[in-house]
Structure 1
Amino acid sequence: MSDFKRMDHILPVGTLKIAALEGCRNLGKAVDSCLVASRKEASLHNSAAAAIPGYIADSYLLDCHCPRFGTGEGKGHINDSVRGADLYILVDVCNYSLTYTVCGFENHMSPDNHYQDLKRIISAATGKAKRISVVMPFLYEGRQHKRTKRESLDCSLALQELVDMGVSNIITFDAHDPRVQNAIPLNGFDSFMPTYQFLKALLDCAEDFIIDNDHLMIISPDEGAMSRAVYFSNILGVDMGMFYKRRDYSTIVNGKNPIVAHEFLGDSVKGKDVIVVDDMISSGDSMLDVAKQIKERGAKRVFVCTTFGLFTDGFAKFDEYYEKGYISKVVTTNLNYRDPELFTKPYYVEADMTKFLASIIESLNHDETLSKIESPTNKINDLLIKVRK
């Protein structure tokens, strides 16, 4: 509980309240349980904070809902008081499992619907909460972050809109391009990486996993994921390589230029375990193509680590590639909704982010620096020392 003990001497900004939208209820409950346990332990060391009304509670979750009318229109409703609270709103824009009715027809919730519900809850709390922070693990429209020709800049517009509504901090994970924060340069924007949780999950699930330059290599599946692979390889002290995508820029399929081929740059992977690290698996086609090429080059095992497992085209191709030995494990976090079928797959491993997210919220509530949380270098080094011993 070292992450929480650092705040023992600091008083909170305001009474902690968490509004977990319906699509993020399970993650919200898990984070809430972690915060309840940690604060009860911390109260033994911080009597001043423990004396503050609401600091120790059985739950910090608010009763909030976004009911809809028969036309599909909705409204945000908070049933608990938020006056003077330090409010954290959790939203998962990727949870397509939720449905609502429009004139008798069933519709699945889209990212646009979730984002609109987020604004409804902010609207219901604005003017009453002392501070509002939005925890949006998968950044809404994060892939539409730059303009080519005549295109909308959806992510930048969304960030500006949230700030205009009174949001002080926006917390996300592994933003597709963190430079999108330039749209709101005077407001809080933090993008956290799950590198430590990836490594811990791999060490728990993979037998004979040796971390040295002779047995392990980090691969970036494209040029956009280079920074993730560079950090991972440097902290582990192993080589890295990358693939770059040759695209057909003369056509557009599903909103993007199709990939013609993946070209590899790097040393030999023969006989080595390989970790392919990226921010998300959407359809998974490019990731699986990279894994196949790595295996054909003689790699021992291929471990895929991505922050968000979306699997928009299902699991059939992943099952096929696992049976053929192209992939050994697929590691994703629990920050977004995942189809229950995924948990039955022998190749799936979850990187639990619950305690990490709870420590972020606790740090912000105490106005404590996030630098130690943003850079997990020390925690990774400590883990490596234990492993090597």
Structure 2
Amino acid sequence: MIVSGSTSQALSAALAAETGESLAVAEYDRFPDGELLASIPDFDDDRAVVVCTTTSSDAHLELLQLQDAAREAGAEEIVTVLPYMGYSRQDSAFKSGQPISARAVARAVSSGADRVVLVTPHEERVADFFDVPCETVDASSLLADPLPDDLREPLFLGPDASAEDLAEEVRDVYGAGDTDYFEKTRDYDTGEVSVEPSDASVTGRDVVVVDDIIATGSTMSEAVGALADGGANNVFATCVHPVLTGNARTKLAAAGIEAVYGTDTVEREVSAVSAASVVADAL
């Protein structure tokens, strides 16, 4: 039975349709003192697939409660799907005395799971923090699907050299275009930082900026602005995890973005394609 956290209802429904598994109807409540209560009164199965994106501290706690509720209801196996794992980018201690938050979260999740499925983590090594088997699946190949079919001399750009492989993955699925990545250069006299593609010209071309996560939108909007200044035709942004905190969407629009596309690992207005198919393969 698939058990959905409140943050992953559309993905859970798509996953149920993809796999043919039944979908439990979870209930999410809050006590007068603010404490959460997530429950699954109709759960009745030997296996629970708990699907919960953890974009907030409440979502983390809700996930732990749903795992425990499934076990209490008789589940012999609990598979936890983390479409997007909060705190996953805090994968090392940056200063003395700081926690490795990704490890702390992974250990907590492991306490109630028999197996974990993690979708496109920012760093693969985060999977090693779990105390139970953890499989990572990649949803980046899905990002070509919502793009227009008639892109003009398309150029797929990663935000840095390490992300060019991601851009190549999307380009290969799309079936046409070139790839490149952004380079940052600093003027040490003025302190200003400029961002531009490392090699390829963007003049008159449709450009797709590809990333695993768009969070605040600051880096992406800076890149979009640079592309517009360089004479790009239309600029699209696509990402696996459209976190889009605060005014991120407004920043991107103000920078001149044509459209933003993401998956439903984080359910947002821009979630144009479901990660259900890649998650189903891991179940």
TM-score category of the 2 structures, normalised to the smaller one: 0.7 to 0.9
1:88 aligns with 2:66: no
1:352 aligns with 2:282: no
Alignment equivalent of 1:242, drawn from 181, 199, 218? 181
1:332 aligns with 2:262: yes
Gaps in structure 1 of 5+ consecutive residues: 1-16, 37-58, 95-110, 248-258, 343-347, 366-389
DSSP 3-state at the match of 1:201: coil
Q: Would you tell me which structure has more helix in proportion to its own residues?
A: 1
Q: By how many angstroms is 1:237 displaced?
A: 6.4
Partner of 2:22: 60
Note closer, same or farther for the CA distance 1:19–1:194 as it changes in structure 2 (3 Å cut).
same
Q: By how many angstroms is 1:220 displaced?
A: 1.0
1:170 aligns with 2:105: no
Partner of 1:121: 66
Partner of 1:321: 255
1:286 aligns with 2:240: no
Partner of 1:209: 151
| Alignment RMSD | 2.8
DSSP 3-state at the match of 2:260: strand
Percent of matched pairs sharing the same residue: 21
- In 2: Cα distance, 1:179 partner to 1:217 partner: 30
Alignment equivalent of 2:233, drawn from 287, 300, 321? 300
Note closer, same or farther for the CA distance 1:266–1:77 as it changes in structure 2 (3 Å cut).
same
Give deviations 1:111-164, integer Å, cap 9, x for gaps: 111111111111122363121111221112112122222222111221122223
Q: By how many angstroms is 1:355 displaced?
A: 4.7
TM-score, length-scaled by structure 2:
0.84
Q: By how many angstroms is 1:336 displaced?
A: 1.8
Q: By how many angstroms is 1:243 displaced?
A: 1.7
Partner of 1:158: 105
Amino acid of the structure 2 residue aligned with 1:191:
V
- In 2: Cα distance, 1:34 partner to 1:137 partner: 16
Does the 8 A contact of 1:198 with 1:331 survive in 2?
yes
Partner of 1:24: 8
1:193 aligns with 2:135: no
Does the 8 A contact of 2:114 with 2:132 survive in 1?
no
Note closer, same or farther for the CA distance 1:355–1:26 as it changes in structure 2 (3 Å cut).
closer
1:270 aligns with 2:270: no
Gaps in structure 2 of 5+ consecutive residues: 187-191
Partner of 2:189: none
Note closer, same or farther for the CA distance 1:147–1:238 as it changes in structure 2 (3 Å cut).
farther
- In 2: Cα distance, 1:237 partner to 1:26 partner: 31
Note closer, same or farther for the CA distance 1:297–1:191 as it changes in structure 2 (3 Å cut).
same
Amino acid of the structure 2 residue aligned with 1:353:
S
Q: By how many angstroms is 1:287 displaced?
A: 0.5
